[in-house]
Amino acid sequence: MLSLIFTSILVTSAIGGILTVLLLALKPVTKRCFGSTWQYYAWGIVLVVMMLPVTIHLPQSDAAPGLGAPVDALQPALEAAAGVGEAGLQQMLAPEVADEGLLPGGQALNVLRSVPPQAYGMACYAWLLGLMLIFGINAVRYLAFCRAVHRNSVIFPCPGITADRIAVRKTNMVGAPLLVGVLRPMLLLPDVEIPAENLNFILLHEIAHYRRHDLLYKWFAMLVRAVHWFNPFVYIASRQIDDECEASCDLSVAARMSEKEQTGYMNTILALLSASTAKKQLMTTAMANDKKQVEKRFTMIRNATKKGKITVLVSAVAACIILTGSVFASGILSDKAQARELGQPDGDRANTTNVLFVGVDGNNAADAIVLLSLNKTDSSLSVLSIPRDTLVLADGNNVKMSSLAAGAGDQGMLDAVRNNFGIPVDYYAVVNYEGFRNIVDILGGVEFYVPMDMAYADPLQGLHISLKEGLQVLDGASAEQLIRFRTGYPEADLDRVRMLQSFMAELVDQKLNAKQLAEIPGLYKEFTKNVATDYPIGRLYADVEFLSKIKSEDVEIFTLPVELGSPPTFLVVNDSELKQLIEQHFAHE
């Protein structure tokens, strides 16, 4: 869950950063045409986009299914951050998805592919720690300031403002008036004599802040800064909001004043500015801020003109376009990120999961290859065993499937299955025999009838097989001996594949039930030790739970249709039979 949230934050942060750059680039035009008030609330769009967890799902094209997008490659790191990952878990980079790069922030997802798993896991916790520290420090500082003010201030009767339920207090802790408090607003005045005319202008200014809910806006900005503390653009946006807050408040107050009153209003700000020496406080309004900003505010007051109806309409439309466009882009990217992090295939295959399992020996050669296809539409499981001696075309060469794991790696195995057999593959899992033994042991062994005495020894591989015919509970070591035995079979590797199928059928029938689901956390930890996989943990839990509800009669096991080649050490695929098999049981298009 933490990794899913963090990934969504990265997406919205990227969109917010791009939107910040856009608003800064347009600022000379928009400020001249629309004014400071539009600027003030337009920056709020950046904050909303960065905090809005919206997802928008678009219909998918009929593109060829693949392994997934960049977020899939991050999953091992996310699982490591959640405490279930280990250093031995490997990561396979998936091919880029072209349409993501067309969206603002889409390249951010692609960049994340290069982040090492452990580093991404640490980043999740670093982000959360930073969020809690920054928000906590700001909240403590704010509360400490409020308590100190209460101890070092006195109530100042002010009939002109109490009607708005704002408490007024005088204190020597501030050098200029400021408004503080969202639930119980309080106007703090410096503990000096303030002329009646100046006090009137102060009240007008601070009441305008209160009625516009500017303090709530500042609190929201502080929350966004805490969540996106790693993004420099959020600080730029917050600074722009602070600057435009006072300027837009000036314009709203001065709009109803005569020229003489405007001059008095500006003189009041100047008097407060010269007397102000205190540093700026968090989540407060400050009528007199720094000198440069005051000069800009005065210029806007003098040059202010009433906006026409058309200008107001155009400014509203522009704001809506910016908001909807940003939310749309963020929603699409968030949908892609969440779908892939939860392991959901795209398009029409959302109810189907195809997983390629490859068992490798000590030399990293493929010794057992099985494709599992879980179809949630008709609640069925199809299992396809691929003989290790099957001839495939890889990089222009005819090679055995068994050689690809060591030579071309995981991607080579996947490309071979997808390109030679036309089978869509969503995830992969490459397990060594240590992992296989441990998984069987975690599940408590499998009761199986061994059809013959099996004896074999290969000191070079450290392989010693000694099984007696009969019904018995095979632990991990015995199960390994069973599936690795190949001498004495009339059809060699094909009979060995059938033996593996029989064992897998018993494993599914005996172990995929509600009781065994309790062992999934232990299984996944074992996966991370001895299995290289891109199977997301969220998808794994959901798929295994669904598998437990499948009846044994809904499980179909097949062998890749092959024939003896020339020389007979190779097996050649029967293309016509394969096509029919794939269309009926594994395509699910």
The answer on 447 and 357 residing in a single domain is yes
Same domain, residue pair 395 and 301: no
Q: Say how many residues make up the chain.
A: 589
> In 167-224, at which residue ranges do the beta strands (DSSP E only) sit?
167-171, 178-180, 186-190
Same domain for 382 and 251:
no
Residue type, 492: A
Residue where a domain terminates, one of 307, 335, 363: 335
Q: Angle CA(451)–CA(456)–CA(460) in degrees, nearest 5?
A: 145
Q: How many CB atoms lie within 10 A of CB 253?
A: 20
The string of pLDDT tens digits covering residues 365-382 is 778 888 888 888 888 888
- Do you find a cis peptide bond into 567, omega within 30 degrees of 0? yes
Distance CA 115, CA 111 (A): 8
As a whole number of angstroms, the distance between CA 12 and CA 329 comes to: 9
Residue 366 placed within a domain: yes
**325 lies in the same domain as 436:** no
pLDDT at site 318? 84
355 in the same domain as 331: no
Domain end point (choices 288, 309, 335): 335
Residue at 88 is within a domain: yes
199 in any annotated domain: yes
Report how far apart, in Å, the C-alpha atoms of 203 and of each of 42, 181, 263 are: 26, 16, 16
Backbone angles phi, psi at 180, to 5 degrees: -140, 145
Q: Within this chain, do residues 302 and 393 fall inside the same structural domain, yes or no?
A: no
| CA distances in angstroms from 465 to 207, 418, 564, listed in the order given | 87, 34, 27
Closest residue by Cα to residue 244 from 297, 203, 315, 281? 297
d(CA 252, CA 37): 8
Same domain, residue pair 119 and 225? yes
User: Is residue 530 assigned to a domain?
Assistant: yes
Q: Where residue 377 sits, what CATH number does that domain have?
A: 3.40.630.190
Same domain, 306 and 359: no
Residue 397 forms part of a structural domain: yes
Tell me: do 161 and 283 sit in the same domain: yes
Contacting residues for 490 by C-beta, under 8 A, at least 6 apart: none
Q: Label the pairing between strands 167-171 and 186-190.
A: parallel
Cα–Cα dist 339/356, whole Å: 20
535: left (phi over 0), alpha (psi -120 to 50) or beta: beta
Decide if 345 is inside a domain.
Answer: no
Does the pTM surpass 0.85? The reply is no
**Looking at the structure, do residues 421 and 534 belong to the same domain, yes or no?**
yes
Instruction: Please tell me whether residues 304 and 371 are part of one structural domain.
Output: no
**Per-residue model confidence as pLDDT tens for the chain (589 residues):** 576 688 788 888 888 888 899 899 988 888 888 888 888 998 998 898 888 776 554 554 443 333 333 334 334 433 443 343 333 333 332 333 334 444 444 455 445 544 544 566 688 889 999 999 999 999 999 899 989 988 999 988 876 665 567 888 999 888 888 888 888 888 888 888 888 888 888 888 888 888 899 999 999 999 999 999 999 999 999 999 988 888 888 888 888 888 898 899 888 888 887 665 555 666 677 676 667 778 888 888 887 777 777 887 888 888 888 878 777 776 666 655 555 544 455 444 567 788 888 888 777 777 888 888 888 888 888 888 888 888 888 877 888 887 876 555 667 778 888 888 888 888 888 888 888 888 888 888 899 999 999 998 888 777 888 999 999 999 989 998 898 887 777 777 778 888 888 888 888 777 766 555 555 556 656 666 777 777 766 666 677 777 777 777 788 888 888 888 777 678 888 888 888 888 877 765 4
Range of the domain at 197: 2-335
Strand locations in 186-313 (E):
186-190, 284-286
For 464, the enclosing helix (H) or strand (E) is strand 463-467
Strands 397-400 and 427-432: unpaired
Say if 343 falls within a structural domain. no
| Residue carrying structure tokens 């509800």 | 549
Q: pLDDT at position 62, please?
A: 40
Predicted local distance difference test score (pLDDT) of residue 346: 47
Domain assignment present for residue 519? The answer is yes
The number of folded domains in the chain is 2
pLDDT of residue 72: 40
**Order of strands, edge to edge, in the sheet holding 284-286?**
153-155, 167-171, 186-190, 178-180, 284-286
Whether residue 201 sits in one domain with residue 69: yes
**Residue at a domain's end among 283, 308, 335:** 335
Structure tokens at 369: 């290859």
What's the rounded Cα separation, in Å, for the pair 225 and 241? 12
Residue 416 in contact with residue 404, Cβ under 8 Å? Answer: yes
Alpha-carbon distances of 139 from 198, 209, 536, 577, rounded to whole Å: 32, 21, 37, 69
